[in-house]
C-alpha cells in the first residue's frame, strides 16, 4: 500500500484546474439527517452566497438515511440545476460517515476548493466568501471556523465540550481548537490528504489537524439552530469524544504503564523498608500493612501489564488504520 500522499498539484493554490473550470470553483459537502425544515433555507442562503462569488459553488448533499422528506427536497434541488448533486445513504450511518461519503464523491470532481458545512445554518454560509478571500490573500491551505462563544447552548454541554478539547490537546499531539466546527474550506492538496485517511472510526476534526498544512481560523458567535433539532444525544457525544481520544492518542495506555509501575515500585520499596526495619529492630512485621502492600504490589504489576498489552493493541490499531506515514506538502 502506498504510504505517502503526494500533493495533487505543484502550485500553492491547489490543483491545476482544467480550462473549463473556474479558477476557484468550490465543492461544498453537506451532511443531512432529517433536515426537511432546514434544507430549503440553507439552499436559499447558498444561492445568496453564490452571487458574491466569482467562482462556481457546487453542493454535494448527503442524505444520511433520513426518514422524513429530506431526500425528496434534495431531489427537487438537484433537478433545478447542475450545481446540486445528492446522494442518499442506505441508513443512518452518522455525520462522520456522511461527510466521508461526500468527500469520496467530491474527490471525483476537479474543483480548486472543497468544503464541509452543516445544513442547519449553525455554520453561517455568509462566511464562505471571507474564507475563500482568506485563502487567496494568505496563500494558506485551509480556512476553518470556530465558535468563540457558546451562547444559547446548554451549560452542561459547553462545559463537557470544553473539558474534552482541553483533554484532547493535553493527551494528544493534535491541536483541536476549542469551539472548532467541521465547517472548513481547503485546497485540493489538503483535501486529498484528508480523503487518503480512510479509517473506519472517523474523527474528522482530528483528521483535519493530523494531516497538517497551513490552516487559518475565523471565529464567529454561536448561532442557535432555528429549525429541526440537534441530532446529538448526550450518549452520542460521549461516544464521539471517546472515539476522538482513542483515534488520536495512546496516552491512557502510557498512563497505565506509568501508574502501574509506580504503584508496584512504591509497594515493593515500602515492603523492603518494613522488612529491614523488622530485622534490624527485632520487631514483628505489621501483618495488615504487609498484606495491603503485597496486594498493592500485585495490583500495580497487573495495571502495568494491562498498559503494555494496551500499547500492543494500540500499535495494531495504528497499523490497521494504515494512515500515510508522511504527507508531502510541496515538491519542486
Q: Give the binding site for ligand UDP (CB under 6 A).
A: 31-33, 35, 64, 92, 94-95, 98, 118-120, 122, 225, 230-232
Residue 94 binding: pick among ligand UDP, Mg ion, none (C-beta 5-8 Å cut-off by kind)? ligand UDP
Total number of residues binding Mg ion (CB under 5 A)?
2
Residue (34 or 112) nearer to Mg ion, CB: 34
Q: How far is the CB of 169 from Mg ion (least distance, A)?
A: 23
Residue (234 or 298) nearer to ligand UDP, CB: 234
Beta pairing partners, 108: none
Residue 32 binding: pick among Mg ion, ligand UDP, none (C-beta 5-8 Å cut-off by kind)? ligand UDP
Residue 117 binding: pick among ligand UDP, Mg ion, none (C-beta 5-8 Å cut-off by kind)? none
- Three-state DSSP state, 265: helix
- State the Cα–Cα distance between residues 128 and 241, nearest whole angstrom: 28
Q: How far is the CB of 287 from ligand UDP (least distance, A)?
A: 57
Q: Is the dihedral of CA 11, 17, 23, 28 positive or negative?
A: negative
Residue 256 binding: pick among Mg ion, ligand UDP, none (C-beta 5-8 Å cut-off by kind)? none
Residue (150 or 216) nearer to ligand UDP, CB: 150
User: Do β-strands 113-116 and 180-187 pair in parallel, antiparallel, or remain unpaired?
Assistant: antiparallel
Of 118-137, binders to Mg ion (CB under 5 A) are: 120, 122
Interaction between residue 222 and Mg ion (CB under 5 A): no
Residue (64 or 120) nearer to Mg ion, CB: 120
Q: How far is the CB of 162 from Mg ion (least distance, A)?
A: 18
- State the Cα–Cα distance between residues 234 and 255, nearest whole angstrom: 27
Residue (70 or 209) nearer to ligand UDP, CB: 70
Interaction between residue 37 and Mg ion (CB under 5 A): no
- State the Cα–Cα distance between residues 75 and 59, nearest whole angstrom: 12
- Three-state DSSP state, 192: helix
Residue (10 or 151) nearer to ligand UDP, CB: 151
For residue 152, is it left (φ>0), alpha (ψ between -120 and 50) or beta?
Answer: left
Residue (207 or 253) nearer to ligand UDP, CB: 207
Residue 119 binding: pick among Mg ion, ligand UDP, none (C-beta 5-8 Å cut-off by kind)? ligand UDP
Q: Is the dihedral of CA 240, 246, 248, 252 positive or negative?
A: positive
Strand ranges inside 127-238, DSSP E: 142-147, 180-187, 215-220
- State the Cα–Cα distance between residues 91 and 94, nearest whole angstrom: 9
Residue 250 binding: pick among Mg ion, ligand UDP, none (C-beta 5-8 Å cut-off by kind)? none
Cell reading at 16: 491545476
Q: How far is the CB of 33 from ligand UDP (least distance, A)?
A: 3
* CB distance 246 to 172 below 8 Å: no
* CB distance 321 to 199 below 8 Å: yes
Amino acid at each position: 500500500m502506498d504510504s505517502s500522499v503526494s500533493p495533487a498539484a505543484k502550485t500553492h493554490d491547489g490543483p491545476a484546474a482544467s480550462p473549463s473550470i473556474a479558477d476557484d470553483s468550490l465543492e461544498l459537502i453537506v451532511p443531512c439527517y432529517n433536515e426537511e425544515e432546514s434544507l430549503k433555507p440553507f439552499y436559499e442562503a447558498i444561492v445568496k452566497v453564490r452571487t458574491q462569488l466569482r467562482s462556481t459553488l457546487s453542493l454535494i448533499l448527503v442524505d444520511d438515511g433520513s426518514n422524513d422528506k429530506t431526500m425528496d427536497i434534495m431531489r427537487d434541488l438537484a433537478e433545478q440545476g447542475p450545481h446540486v448533486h445528492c446522494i442518499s445513504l442506505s441508513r443512518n450511518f452518522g455525520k462522520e460517515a456522511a461527510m466521508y461519503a461526500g468527500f469520496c464523491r467530491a474527490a471525483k470532481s476537479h474543483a480548486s476548493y472543497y468544503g464541509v458545512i452543516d445544513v442547519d445554518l449553525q455554520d453561517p454560509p455568509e462566511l464562505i466568501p471571507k474564507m475563500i478571500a482568506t485563502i487567496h490573500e494568505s496563500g494558506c491551505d485551509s480556512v476553518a471556523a470556530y465558535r468563540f462563544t457558546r451562547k444559547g447552548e446548554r451549560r452542561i454541554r459547553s462545559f463537557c465540550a470544553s473539558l474534552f478539547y482541553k483533554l484532547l490537546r493535553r493527551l494528544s499531539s493534535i491541536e483541536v481548537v476549542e469551539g472548532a466546527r467541521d465547517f472548513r474550506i481547503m485546497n485540493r492538496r489538503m483535501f486529498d490528504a484528508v480523503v487518503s485517511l480512510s479509517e473506519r472510526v472517523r474523527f474528522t476534526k482530528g483528521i483535519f489537524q493530523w494531516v497538517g498544512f497551513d490552516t487559518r481560523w475565523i471565529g464567529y458567535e454561536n448561532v442557535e439552530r432555528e429549525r429541526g433539532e440537534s441530532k446529538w444525544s448526550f450518549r452520542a457525544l460521549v461516544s464521539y469524544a471517546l472515539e476522538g481520544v482513542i483515534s488520536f492518542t495512546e496516552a491512557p495506555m502510557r498512563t497505565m504503564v506509568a501508574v502501574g509501575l509506580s504503584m508496584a515500585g512504591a509497594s515493593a520499596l515500602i515492603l523492603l523498608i518494613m522488612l529491614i526495619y523488622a530485622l534490624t529492630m527485632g520487631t514483628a512485621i505489621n501483618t495488615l500493612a504487609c498484606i495491603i502492600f503485597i496486594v498493592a504490589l500485585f495490583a500495580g504489576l497487573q495495571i502495568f501489564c494491562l498498559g503494555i498489552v494496551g500499547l500492543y493493541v494500540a500499535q495494531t490499531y495504528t497499523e490497521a488504520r494504515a494512515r500515510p506515514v508522511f504527507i508531502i506538502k510541496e515538491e519542486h
